[in-house]
A and B are shown apart, each in its own frame.
Chain A
């Protein structure tokens, strides 16, 4: 019973305690629940972090390997290009050396060829000498010509004078001016006079009316002569007595120039004949055969056909496949008939 009383005293408090305990459990449950959650979450976090770390490590491993691979590849490429560039530089250098030599040679030989230039200049000097000599000769020749013309003119003048003064020639009895008796030999003028024929009067008028230069004509130093072709008859001549015709007429008739007609002036082989000859020659040239052209086929009816060489000879084209080409006459063959030895 005491226990019961005890229990009963505790009962009132029990309810509160029960309530309190249940309540506190309730609250503690929350707290514990939260705590458990915290612990679990932390643990989960740890696990996940560990996992991530693990993954990270693996990934880093892969990436490391991959990056190393890439860079080695890249490096290899770089080395290759560097090598290539080095080779190309080397080749360029060598090519430059060759080109340098070649260009120097080429320029010295063909473009600025010193020796060719020297030879050319020497050739020019030689040529110049030749040209100068020739020109000098030409100038001298012209001078000689001029001098000769001068001398000739003077000679002509002298001869003309001598002819005019022919009367000064010395005779047997009377010595002329140029043949003084005190001289040892006669003067050259005297010799000239002896040689020359006397000048006749008519020849003195023989100057041509058109001798003056044409371009002096308008600014005329001489009055213009619209001259006629005939010379005028001499003034003051006595008209010959008798029924003579006028001298001028007679002379005109006597010395009338020939005026042939066209027929006479043309040659005997006149152009018509010449053209005909030409045509005949051409025909003769172009003729290939002398056979007449017969127009209708009836003219050719009885003609025999002349075959060409190919058809008229028996050595024509053999049929295909023939293996021998020479004539054979088997009856003349002896070899198989000889059955015994001849010797």
Chain B
């Protein structure tokens, strides 16, 4: 209310002293009049005007005398002004970051433009506005969209993705519906999440962008920083460090350009700082250690997967100076430690205390004799090395280099201590990569030659941890590691050795265990599998399998299982009698071991002899009994896999039925993960080939869940499910259930599946369905467009699909009406086109389909016209009797047309078919007899052909009948 006095009374009119008093009173009681009157929002905006108005008032006062109070007043006003100025400034900064405005968006885009272009180093390929016209308020969106808060639209083409059409609005940045091709209109609909700014969005969408950005990030931030004018009130100290940092950075950036192999070095050098950055960020918000760790963890994830946390982009910007600070640290450190990083210790005082302790210990490692080194190593081992903070701290203070260096000394104690630490921290993927980068693997492989067993063990265990990715596998192999590791497996009981065990010795079994562990890790690469085999690893693994130590058995079986994907391994496994031991270990108490054994059996049981071996060694019973324990899903998947592969042999199915495995498998059809389902359904499909199996499945209510699974999307599962449903459909009673559940329609729709193996499997499954369904013809007709779909599948170029579709057509064509529809859809020319195939399976089903299709209208003549007859005659030369039978039937059907007979005769059908007469197959002779019979008659009519010859044949045919 006091302000009211203030306004109506111009200062020049009031007496001097009164005014001063009033003014002072005003300032003291009401420090921000405008905000009070108009609300807080206006505070900032009117600040500057107010400042100047107050100053003009002051100027007016100065015209009068009384210097003392004048100075007082002036100081008070200046202080106030400064205060407001600071507040204003920080508010402005904050408000910039909380909401996007045209200015920031423009800045972002301009900057990104600088980083885009062709070539691998750039962040983006291109970034463009959709519209060139910029409104006076800085927006580019059309006015009716500006109302929605939208600023502009940009087209961004990252290196590794399609062009993204992005809306920048005041709320944030998001993907929109894209630009429609024809009219160039933008679909304004929001299509994705809202991100804080453009950079965050692009990081999420493009891996290359985020990767390249993380390299360029600092530069980006630096420029961004410059673009905003440097705030004057930044503390001098900070400005100084910033300056130092940026010069250091520029220096290193220069190196990057000059040194040819600088790139990898550069990234390596930048790595630690990028990592600590997040900690620095965290420090700004939270001080508790726990939070710091969490944040740091989050930061780690972001490295591989771009950020989704909205706050991070701001934080990066805010802490840009600090990041650079740390960069200056890491680069100077890696150069020559020229200046003691005193200022850093001040600024990083909030890093976890472990960081500093570890840094100190690493210092002792570097500058101590073996006694000090051993003490430092022991002390370092006492840290919680499973914790990421400690792992990364060791790396960031240069501890990995020292630890790996210690491996190369011949000081056993130091090697042991170093390996003990490396073993723990190498659980961290980043550390693993770093160890490999620093050449840690060759050093460890050298240690494998050491006479000290415990040292060997530690080295092998560490290798097992480190060798989890491609580059490491290669490094192990290149340095002859596989041979050395295989040598560790060579374990014989030395009784003399046991008596004289020195300080650093371990049990021989332990060495073998660690060796197997390392091999297990390495055996995930194809070349390493080969190397293990060549190094003679299989017999050694086989021998180790005979031990009873579970801890050794697991890596051994794990390695075998990994390697059994190779054909030659499977042969060797069979030859070495490994199956027996695998079977034996199925009954062990260790779930992991059981899982590995089941996996190994699953891999090996591709081979028929192996399947028999599993049965003969009594492996099916433990497998079947493991089905009842469904808690451990991984083991369950392995066990069902093993059962599936084993059930390919009929004898195994009989055994499995005995062990009630089918019942258990049916129970697994619901509520299981896909990998279990695939295997369980596969096994059921095999079991249902036997009538008893089908009955069991039906009685146990297995048909319904199987049909339900027909709607799944997993390719492997679909192949198995269709197979199983097809197998069940052989039994009329099951078929009724399938029909009732509309299973045939589901199968039919799977013919549209993009994967040929699913198509083929579905078509095969349809055959028994059509055979056994009641009113099959009516059912087939009820599928709208179904027959056309089938006919069109004949255009496929996959042999299996073609064969299965031919079989399906054979069954469909049993119904005359459907055959008529098939004919209308042009089945005859399509079948005729296939006639030239050499694939026996396809030939057989094709011949059957042709013979069936001949029964409609003028199809016989049509087949002749489409030149299907001559190639069919050639089928008689095939070695497959089922092809002969089908062909003979087809030729018989075709021979009712005189022209076809001529063609057949010209192609030597008589000779071919009579040659068949000698075959001891009554069925075949049945079909070949009418054929030759028909041929003879035709020949008689046409008066051509060698009559006598035919007569002789005829007599022979009779005889053979």
A binds B: no
